[in-house]
Amino acid sequence: MCVLIILFLMVIQFESNSESNFSNRIYIRFKPGTQEEIITAYLQSEKIKFQRLIPIESSVRFKFQNFKKIDNYTLSNLSKVLEAEEPLLRTFSIELPNGAEPTKFCERIKRENPSIEIAEPIYLDEPLGIPNDPYANQQTMLATIKAFHTWDVFLGDTNVVIGIVDTGIFQNHEDLENSIAPNWGEIPDNGIDDDANGYVDDFRGCNLAYSTEGKGGDTYHSNEHGTSVAGIVGATTNNGKGIAGVANKCRIFPIKASKIVTLQSIDYGYQGILYAAIRGFNVVNCSWGKIKPFSPIDQSIIDYAVSRGVVVVAAGGNGNNSSSVWYPAGYKGVLAVGEVNQSDYVTGTTTMNETIRIMAPGIGNWIITNKQAEYKASSFGGTSFSAPVVAGVVAMARSKYPSLGPLETIEYVRQLADNISDANPSFELMVPGRVNMEKILQISPSSIPGIFPKQVKTYRTNSIPEERFLVGDTVVLRIDAKNYLASAQNLRFVLSVADIFDNSLEIIDSESDLPNLAAGADFEIGPFSFRIKEENLNRTFLRVDILGENVYKDFFLVPFVPTTVVSNFGNDSIMLSISDKGTLGFYSSGESKIGVGVQHTKLGNQLFKGGLVVSEDSNRVVSALFGLNPDGSDFKIVKPFMNPNAEVGIVNDDLATELEKIGLEIQQNVYIPPRNESYFKIAISVKNISKQVKKNVSLGYYLDWDVGSNSDSNRTYLVPEAIPETIIPIAAAVQFTESSDSSVVVGVGVLSESASNQPQSAALNSAVRTNFSKDKQILALNSGTSWQFNGFDDVANVCGMKFPGELSPDETKTFIMMFSIERNRESLKNIFLRNILKSGVESINPGFLNLEVYPNPAQDKLELTFPNGFDRSDCKIEIFNSIGELVLEEKLILGNDYCEILLPTLPDGIYFVKAKNRQLVLVGKFVKM
C-alpha cells in the first residue's frame, strides 16, 4: 500500500533525541481486550513503580457502573466520554529504574510483551517564558484587552475554575490565597485520599510529584514561573492588594507538574491536564510545551479532557517567529496562544503558524513572585505569559455562557478579538486577532458561526486526488469544515496567499459562496484553485477569509508545501521517504530536513541519511549526497514520484560535473506490501542514455544508519543464511545492522536474477564515513562483499549491484533492493527468506487462487491448468518478472481447461503468471530455465 502523506502535514524530522529531553518515565498502553490480571501481573513482575493515567475509582465508567455522582456535562455526553476514556484506562505512567534509558526500555518491553500496544518516552516540556532585556515597567494589558470595561458589567463566576498546570504555585501569597477554589471533598494534610479521586491531600492544590516528595497539597516550587502565570490569570481583584487577575471572580486551582529537583522542566504536564478533567475544571492553562514528535497518547489525553468539558489553553511556542509546531499547542482541541507586546506588536519570541489562533499580551504583564507581597512588571515574556490572559477570558466566557462546550467556547473566544494586522505589516495576513474581553458583552455566541477546518484536500484539475505538485501545476483545493456555533447565511470564502514574502503561488479561483450554513453542520468549503509559479520546498501558508452578514469576518490558515521533492510510502508496519533527487529517508535543502526516514512504525526511524551512488569502470562516480551542487545531488529529475505511477521516480546524472558525468538514467520503483509486513522493496534500473559504451557500471545506496538509541554503538555484518535456496543461480547479498543491545535490527538485501552480476555490500566505520571521498565511494561500490568493518561504531553501508562488462547505448540493467526492520535477528532473517524472491504480483489480490503451471522449471512453453468453474470467457493472461514488470500478455484461447503459453523470448529467471476474469485472479509461479 502506498501512502503519500498530505503535504501540509509533511514531517520535518525531529532530530534532537538526547536523553536530556526525556523524563525518567514512560507511557505504556496495553492492547484492547488485555485482561486486567495480565496487566497487573506484568507490571508487578517488572518491579517498577506504575500509575494508571486515570485511576479506576476516578473513571466515569466506574462511577456509572456503581451509581456514583457524575456531573451534568459528562452525563449529557456520556457516550463520547466513555469512548475517550477507554484507551486511557489501559494506559500507565511507568517510573523507570535508576540508569534505565527510556528509549531502550520501551524497545525491550515492546519486544518482550505482545500485549503492549504503545510504549513511548515522556518528554520533558519547558516553561515557555524566555529571559530578555528589561522592556517595560508599567503594565497595560488589562486596559488593552478591555478588562476594566467588562468588569463594570460582569465579574465572572466563582464556580468556574481554571487549573494551572505549571512548575508550582506559592499558594499562600497574599494575592492568591483567596483565589484558590478548595476541593471540599478532601481533608487537608491527613495523608489520605478522602474523595477517592486517586490523589492525596489535594485540598488547595495537587502535587503530581507526591509519590517522590510526600506532599500531596503543597505546590510550592522555587521556579516562580507557575506563580507568575497564576497571578496573571487569577490574582484576587478588589482586595486592596497587588494586582488584578484577568479572570476576576473565577477561581484557580494549582496543579504542580514539576519535581522540586527539576528547575527548568515540566515533568507531569499531561497528567496535570488529566487531573483537571477528572476534577471537572472549566479551563486548564498550559504555559509550557516542546517541539517533539506527535504522541497519540497525549492526543488521547486532550480528547478526554475535551470530552469532560475542559477548555485546554496552551502557549503557542517560543519559536522566534518560525512556523514549527509546538505541543500541546499543536494537538487537536487545544486553543494555542501567540504573543504580542503591550502595543499589539508581534514579538520576536512567538511562533507564527496555523496552530496560533489568537494573540494576547505577554511581555510587560504584571506578575507576582514567590515573595509574600512582591509584584513587578515582567521584563521578560514568551507565550507563557500570553496564554493565561486568554485562559482568563475563556473562564469569563464560560461564566457568561455556561452551556457552551469546550470546542464551541474556543471558536467563540477566538472571535472576541481586535484586528491587529495594521500594526504588524510583516505578518499582516497571518496574525490572528488580539483578544478583547469586552466583546463577551457585545457578541452573543448565538449570533455568529464558528468555523474550524478539519481536513484539507488537494486535487489536480481533473479532480484526481494529489498531494504533490510541480511548477506550472494548477491545484484544486477543497476543505472539510465544521460550524461549532450559530447558523449563518450568505457566507463568502476568499482564498489568498498569507505569506507576503512568498511568490511561489498564484490564486486563480479565489471565492466560494455558501447561501446557508446550519448550526453544528459539517460542510465543504471550495473548490478553490491556484497555480504554482516557482519552486518552493518550504512550508508556506494560504489564508481563507470568511465574510458574512452584519460585517462578520473570520479567517484561518492552511499550511502547504508547493513543490516538495519528497514522497512518503508505507503500511501499518513500515514507512519510508524517498526524494525525486535520489535520496532515501530524507532530503536536505538549506536548514530543512524533510521526510520520515526509514522507520518501523513501532520502533521508529533508523536511518540518518541515504542516497544513490553510481560508478563506472572504477574511475567516475556520481551520487545523491556527495556532489558539488548545493543539495549535494548530481541527479536531475526526469520523472518525480508523482501520478501517474507515483511509485516510480527517474533521474539522470546531468547535474554532475563534466569530469564525473557518466550518462546514465536511473529508475526507482518502490513496492510496499499491502499487508502489515515490515519490509519494502525498490527495483532499480540503470539505462545507458549516452552514445558510448559504458563498462562495469555499479550502483546502489549509501546508507548511514543510526539503529536504536545509541548510534555510536551499532554493528553490521553479512547474513548469507537470509538468502533462500533457488533452482537457478542468482546474485544476492544480505547485510544486517543492529543496535548494541540487539533490540532493533535493520536488514538490506540486493538481488539479481543473473548470476553473472556481482552484489555489493560494504560495511564502513565512522572514520571512513566521516571522510567518504570519491575514491572510497568507488571502492565501496566495487569491492563485492569483502569490505566489512567488524566491531561497534557509528556505521554505514554501501549496498547495490555491479554489472560487469559492457552496457551498450539504450541498454538497461535491473536489480532489486529489499529493506526491513525488526526487533531481533531471527525474525528479520525469516522475513528475508520469505520475501526477497517475491514480486508484487502475489499481493495483487490477497484472496487469489493458485494457478497450476507445468512444467516447472519451464523451457520453451508453459501449460496453465484452471480450477473447475473458472469462467474463461473473458480471461487475460499476464506474465511478470520477479520485480513486477509485465513481460508477456495474451488473450486466453477458449475451449479447454488449460492453455499453452510459448516462452522462447523470455530470459532465464523467476516469473509469475496471472490469469484474471471479471470475478477472480489466479496466480502461479515458475522458473524459466
Taking the C-alpha atoms of residue 278 and residue 272, their distance in angstroms, rounded to an integer, is 10
Strand partners, 488: 517
The phi and psi torsions of 150 (rounded to 5 degrees) equal -65, -45
Look at the alpha carbons of 654, 655, 659, 662 in this order and tell me if their dihedral is positive or negative: negative
Higher pLDDT, 321 or 346: 346
Taking the C-alpha atoms of residue 260 and residue 162, their distance in angstroms, rounded to an integer, is 23
Higher pLDDT, 88 or 891: 88
Higher pLDDT, 543 or 106: 543
Which residue shows C-alpha cell 469576518? 553
Please, is 510 exposed, middle or buried when counting C-beta atoms within 10 Å of its C-beta (0-12, 13-18, 19+)? Answer: middle
Burial 594-630 (b: 16+ CB within 10 A, else e): bbbbbbbebbbbbbbbbbbbbbbeeebbbbbbbbeee
Whether the predicted pLDDT of 840 surpasses 70: no
* Residue pLDDT, tens place only, 766-818: 999 888 999 999 999 999 999 999 999 999 999 999 999 999 999 999 999 99
Taking the C-alpha atoms of residue 197 and residue 205, their distance in angstroms, rounded to an integer, is 14
* Residue pLDDT, tens place only, 889-929: 877 655 556 678 888 788 877 788 888 877 777 888 888 87
* Residue pLDDT, tens place only, 537-567: 888 999 999 999 988 999 999 999 898 899 9
| CA-closest candidate to residue 712, choices 608, 846, 784, 558 | 608
Whether the predicted pLDDT of 463 surpasses 80: no
* Residue pLDDT, tens place only, 642-666: 888 889 999 999 999 999 999 999 9
Q: Do residues 204 and 171 make contact, with C-beta atoms less than 8 angstroms apart?
A: yes
Please report the pLDDT score of residue 880 as a whole number: 85
Please, is 308 exposed, middle or buried when counting C-beta atoms within 10 Å of its C-beta (0-12, 13-18, 19+)? Answer: buried
Q: Do residues 798 and 781 make contact, with C-beta atoms less than 8 angstroms apart?
A: yes
Query: What are the grid coordinates assigned to 58, written together?
Result: 476516578
**DSSP of 508-544, one letter per residue?**
EE-EEEEEEE-TT-EEEEEEEEEEE-S---S-EEEEE
Taking the C-alpha atoms of residue 801 and residue 759, their distance in angstroms, rounded to an integer, is 5
Which residue shows C-alpha cell 484507551? 87
Taking the C-alpha atoms of residue 532 and residue 472, their distance in angstroms, rounded to an integer, is 5
Helix, strand or coil for residue 879? Answer: strand
Average pLDDT over the chain, rounded to an integer: 87
Query: What are the grid coordinates assigned to 485, written together?
Result: 456555533
The 3 state secondary structure assigned to 235-260 is CCCCCCCCCCCCCCCCEEEEEECCCC
| DSSP code at position 645 | S
* Residue pLDDT, tens place only, 573-612: 899 999 999 999 999 876 567 888 998 887 888 999 999 9
Which residue shows C-alpha cell 518482550? 112
Rg, C-alpha atoms of the chain: 31
Query: What are the grid coordinates assigned to 345, written together?
Result: 506588536
Please report the pLDDT score of residue 50 as a whole number: 83
Q: How many Å from the N-terminal Cα to the C-terminal Cα in the chain?
A: 32
Please report the pLDDT score of residue 381 as a whole number: 76
* Residue pLDDT, tens place only, 328-369: 999 999 999 999 999 999 998 898 999 999 999 999 888 998
Pairing of the two strands 251-256 and 206-207: parallel
| CA-closest candidate to residue 452, choices 412, 419, 392 | 412
Query: What are the grid coordinates assigned to 298, written together?
Result: 497525549
Taking the C-alpha atoms of residue 752 and residue 750, their distance in angstroms, rounded to an integer, is 7
| CA-closest candidate to residue 674, choices 2, 109, 172 | 2
Q: What is the pTM of this model?
A: 0.73
* Residue pLDDT, tens place only, 26-68: 898 998 888 888 888 888 887 778 888 888 888 888 888 877 8
Taking the C-alpha atoms of residue 673 and residue 834, their distance in angstroms, rounded to an integer, is 13
Taking the C-alpha atoms of residue 363 and residue 386, their distance in angstroms, rounded to an integer, is 8
